[in-house]
Amino acid sequence: MKYLTQDKGFSLIEVLIAVTIFAVGLLAVASMQFTSVKGNFSARNVTEAITLGQAKAEELYTLAYDHGDLSAGVHTQALGYYNYQWTVVDNDVLNNTKTITLDVQYTRDGQTKQARIVMAKPDII
């Protein structure tokens, strides 16, 4: 009988181990991809809430000083998934100035998130 002195190729065990390592690597990459998509979705919601909040803050700021939406107290408004709540306090920090605290809230996956904008509106004559 003639014995081979040089082994050529891979054994079945080596191939199975390589395929297993490759599969574990692919699962790790798939998991990272899922986490990335979830994080991007969350960031999109935060960005959208802040953008809508800034737009509402600018709208409130352009109203007349004695407008009904700027009367002292708590005001609410809903817009799709987002809920606005702003609190107006007269003469809080300075005389003839209203402090407006605007909260934009939204609920995703059973969790309520919030973005807050605080501004002062002076009574300019």
pLDDT digit string (tens) for 99-120? 999 999 998 878 888 999 999 9
pLDDT (tens digit per residue) in 2-56: 665 666 777 889 999 999 999 999 999 999 999 999 889 888 888 998 999 999 9
19 domain-assigned:
yes
The structural domain count of the chain equals: 1
Give yes or no for a contact between 98 and 70, defined as CB atoms under 8 angstroms apart.
yes
The pLDDT score that the predictor gives to residue 3 is 63
- pLDDT category at 121 given cuts 50, 70, 90 is very high
Q: How far apart are CA 125 and CA 123, in angstroms?
A: 6
41 domain-assigned:
yes
Q: pTM for this one?
A: 0.69
Give yes or no for a contact between 102 and 57, defined as CB atoms under 8 angstroms apart.
yes
Structural domain that includes position 114: 12-122
